[in-house]
Amino acid sequence: IVVVILGVLAMMAVPRYQTAVERAKGAEAFNFLAQIEAGQERHNARTGEYAQAISQLDVKVPTPNHFSVGAFTSYDWQTQWELRVTRAGASSGFGNYTVTWNQDGFERSRSSIAEDLIPVL
């Protein structure tokens, strides 16, 4: 009986634990991208356009451990930019997903991150 009870408890707890761990990893991407956004705004205030590379920004944020970082994209560097990070490696059954950010912040429609992994903004 004790083994069955422990099995049922483990069955309920493991998925919640995996989701919590993956949510923390997703928060890493959101924190990184929020710092990039702040750097982009400062760069735009100084130069009149957004930076085309992270190295042009005045922020020194470490590359996220669990994500690969793409390159900035834009069709008009004076008014907009976009950056996408992609989950690298095992993701507790969530698969590969992306988080997309632009001058307005998190871009839900261009991201593939699961709804329950998005940190409270």
State pLDDT tens for residues 80-100: 999 999 998 766 678 889 999
Whole-number average pLDDT of the chain? 90
Please give the structure tokens belonging to residue 60: 């020194």
In the chain, what are the helix, strand and coil shares in percent, each to the nearest 5?
45, 15, 40
How far apart CA 86 and CA 93 sit, in angstroms, is 15
For 41-51, write each residue's pLDDT tens digit: 999 999 999 99
Please give the structure tokens belonging to residue 83: 């950056």
Q: pTM to 2 decimals?
A: 0.85
Higher pLDDT: 20 or 29? It is: 29
